[in-house]
Every structure is written in structure tokens, then in C-alpha cells.
Amino acid sequence: MHEKQMREQGLSALEPTLLKIGGSVITDKSGELAARMQDINRLAQEIHDANIKNLIIVHGGGSFGHPIAQKYGINAGFKEESQRIGFAETHHVMTVLNGLFMDALIWREVPAVSVTPSSCILTKRGRIQCFEEAPLRAFLKMGFIPVTFGDAVLDVELGFTILSGDQLFSYIATRLNAKRIIIGVDVDGLYDSDPKIKKTAKMFKHLTLEELKKLQANFGKPTACDVTGGMFGKIAELIPAIEKGIPVTIVNASKPNYIYKTLKGEKVEGTLIEKE
């Protein structure tokens, strides 16, 4: 076996845990550039206390990325000159939110490193086409915790677009043969309707891939201010990872110690999705 093949085999054997923290958990979506610092600090402490090896964190944009991206129509691609500043602003505020999260982690001596999608990813009509993933693998191999996020990225056909954190983490999970995916949201799990609107909404404790595909049609289209697909988009992005046999756990990251317990493998209220 060649040295390069041996090196790649060693890196691919890392089987990381992927943790996604939704933008609704770490920001107030009803505001603008409104970070929930109490929750950011709490989550950073839970990640520190869990002390999980081979961890990759992806976070959403919430009230930082979404409103600006929507205002300038970044998701639809380049159409006029004024969008350039919109692209730059969307990317910038996402790095600001990422910086707040990084501050909280590093202050607690978590060896986290920021990986900016716009510097290593190109999309084609909104789907990842080129991802320079070698640094991500090398960071894991060295014992770092990569932290990445939904971002405004360049697109080979559209000029630019929005890459959702959901597509990003599902892609990374599949490429790096993740051991598991944990999704932290601001509700208790996956429901048959919006539990914030319908009090009688039913939460699913366990779903198979086949059951999940049947449910897809029940999830509405995204709300006006969510440029990355809402719950419908999240479900669609999960399917390739689940097809590969990667289990997905959806839990309420707004509740203290839920992320800590899930990282440690302890059972909490939530939804588990498995291939079979």
C-alpha cells in the first residue's frame, strides 16, 4: 500500500461525531443580529464537559445570516451589482456569530478551530461540487474540534448562493463516515406539525428511513425568513447520511444538559432516526 493510501485510510477511520446547533438555539430569530449569549456559553460548557474526541460542530445562522441573505436575494444567485455588498455582509455576520461561539469554546479551553466554508467550498446550483476537505481531516487527526457554519459561498453557475448548515453537515458526515449525527434544535424533536403553532402536534421518538421518506410530504415549505429550507430542507438533507447507516438524534439544545447527555451517549427525550 502506498504512503498516500495509508495516510488517507488512517484519516478516513476517524468516524467523527457531528453536532449541529440550530440558529434558533443560539440566536433570537425575531431580532436582528441577536445572539443568545447565555445559551452559547452554556452549550460551550456542555461540549467542554462531554470531552468527546473526533467532534465536528456545525452551527446555523439564525438572526445573523438569514435576514441579510433574504434582503439581497443571495440564495438565488448573482443578478445585480448591489448584491456584492449583500454577499460580503452575509458572510461577515456569519463570521461574527461564529466568533462568539468560538470565544465561548476557547475560553473554556476547548481546542476549537473555525473552518470557513466560503474559503474551501464551491457549489453548483446550490449543491456542493468542490470541497477541499484535507484540512478538516487533518484538524481531526491532530485532536482539534473543527467548527463550521452555513455561509454565503461562490457557485460555478449562479455566481454565489447560500450553503445551508444542514447540507454542509450531511455532506461532511457522509464523506467522513461519521459515527453519528446530533442535531440540537429549539423543540423536543421531530413532530408531525409545528409544535409552536399546534399544541397537539405529535413527536416521533423513533423513525426508520422508510418512515421518514413518507413523512417528507407533511413538512411545509420554509418560512419567508429561512433561506435554507426550514424543516423540509433539514429532512431532505438528512436522507443521504441515514442511507449510509449514520444514526441521527434530534434533541432540544435549549434545555440544559441535553447536548451534554447526548454527546455522552445518555438517553434524553428526542427523536432517533435510523436506516432500519
Q: Give the pLDDT band (50/70/90) at residue 250.
A: very high
- Give the span between the Cα atoms of 40 and 171, in whole angstroms: 25
- Per-residue pLDDT tens for 115-135? 999 999 999 999 999 999 999
Asked whether 180 and 262 are in contact (CB, 8 A), the reply is: no
Res 221: pLDDT: 53
- Per-residue pLDDT tens for 199-214? 788 888 999 999 888 8
Share of the chain above pLDDT 90, in %: 72
Mean pLDDT over 226-239 rounds to 65
Alpha helices (H) in 157-225, listed in sequence order: 165-175, 209-215
- Does the domain at 3-274 match CATH 3.40.1160.10? Answer given as yes
Taking all residues of the chain, what is their mean pLDDT, rounded to a whole number? 89
- Give the span between the Cα atoms of 215 and 190, in whole angstroms: 11
Cα–Cα distance list, 146 to 16, 109, 138, 162 (Å): 11, 14, 10, 20
Which backbone phi and psi does 121 adopt, to 5 degrees? -130, 135
- Give the span between the Cα atoms of 56 and 7, in whole angstroms: 20
Which backbone phi and psi does 129 adopt, to 5 degrees? -110, -40
> pTM here?
0.90
Q: Give the pLDDT band (50/70/90) at residue 11.
A: very low
- Give the span between the Cα atoms of 76 and 136, in whole angstroms: 28
Q: Give the pLDDT band (50/70/90) at residue 234.
A: confident
Res 231: pLDDT: 65
- Give the span between the Cα atoms of 64 and 11, in whole angstroms: 34
Q: Give the pLDDT band (50/70/90) at residue 33.
A: confident
Res 60: pLDDT: 92
Mean pLDDT over 21-30 rounds to 91
* CA-wise closest residue to 87 among 4, 156, 177, 153: 153
Helix (H) or strand (E) holding 83, with range, is: helix 83-107
Residue 117 CA neighbour count, 13 Å, CB half: 35
- Give the span between the Cα atoms of 181 and 126, in whole angstroms: 22
Share of the chain above pLDDT 70, in %: 89
Q: Cα 124 to chain center, whole Å?
A: 19
Q: Give the pLDDT band (50/70/90) at residue 10.
A: very low
Q: Give the pLDDT band (50/70/90) at residue 217.
A: low
- Give the span between the Cα atoms of 144 and 135, in whole angstroms: 11
* CA-wise closest residue to 242 among 218, 208, 270: 208
SS (H, E, C) 25-50: HHECCCCCCCECHHHHHHHHHHHHHH
